[in-house]
Amino acid sequence: MPELPEVETVRRGLAPAMEGARIARADVNRPDLRWPFPPRMADRLAGQRVLRLRRRSKYILADLESDETLLIHLGMSGRMLISGDPLGQFLHDHPAPEKHDHVVLHMANGARITFNDPRRFGAMDLIQTAVAEQHPLLAKLGPEPLGNAFHEAYLKGALSGRRAPIKAALLDQRIVAGLGNIYVCEALYRARISPKRHAGRISPARIGALVPVIRDVIAEAIEAGGSSLRDFRQTDGELGYFQHRFDVYDREGQPCRRPDCPAVVRRIVQSGRSTFYCCSCQR
């Protein structure tokens, strides 16, 4: 599933073609994805100007002139693809419709935004902008890792007394929003913290040092356009490149990248998900 850097990459790619532009027509080609679409979604989108595109955790939010917000979740395989951009930033002509093009936004400026999702685990909803943060998918989210509310004192307090492994705690969206399996593995490696350690038993100093590491990993991944492993593509169809910088993720059996470490990367399963780490460097 796309994590924060991939979703932020998509948001940034959509912004030039959508922000300030009007949706001339919306084609909704099925009644649902993971959940049913809201009533009259195509009619409610048609004619609306997109005032702002923002991101919360792994969700893209398009604030509309109608005081409604279009919430978009990419799910496991969802892609937002742009074609025909009149600003000249995208070289793709409008492609022929594909089987899994479930929602298509025809922008008045000539751009076309296509939501393609073969597995249909994505979602869209329309909500009142004024109360968008109260939506069930957003209401209990923790702070953004790149935001001011995510700092050493906060993380120390959030993890205090927790018996869950630090890997599971950082994946808990109520503690910090947007982190997923890839970037938690990478951050714990850089911080030399074992993913198996109980979150509440890690020293305050090490927890404090973890905060800037998480920020750095996320910022670097965004700069690289995210990570493309299976389905993820940027809005112009290109791949992300952060997967070429992985220190541990998906490197089972390969040497630890630290020159003074003789160990190899190991893989274990935690809560049904693969964890990659160095048992020598990470304690």
Q: One of 2, 5, 143, 165 is an active-site residue; which one?
A: 2
Q: One of 56, 58, 167, 251 is an active-site residue; which one?
A: 58
Whole-angstrom Cα distance, residue 126 to residue 237? 26
Known active-site residue 201: no
Whole-angstrom Cα distance, residue 194 to residue 45? 47
Known active-site residue 99: no
Known active-site residue 2: yes
How far from 29 is each of 23, 105, 115, 126, 215, CA to CA, in Å?
A: 16, 11, 10, 17, 39
Whole-angstrom Cα distance, residue 2 to residue 55? 13
Q: Residue type for 153, please? A: A
List residues bridging with 231 in a β-sheet: none
Known active-site residue 58: yes
Put the strands of the sheet holding 123-128 in their side by side order.
Answer: 50-56, 59-64, 68-73, 123-128
Q: One of 3, 6, 8, 144 is an active-site residue; which one?
A: 3
Catalytic residues: 2-3, 58, 273
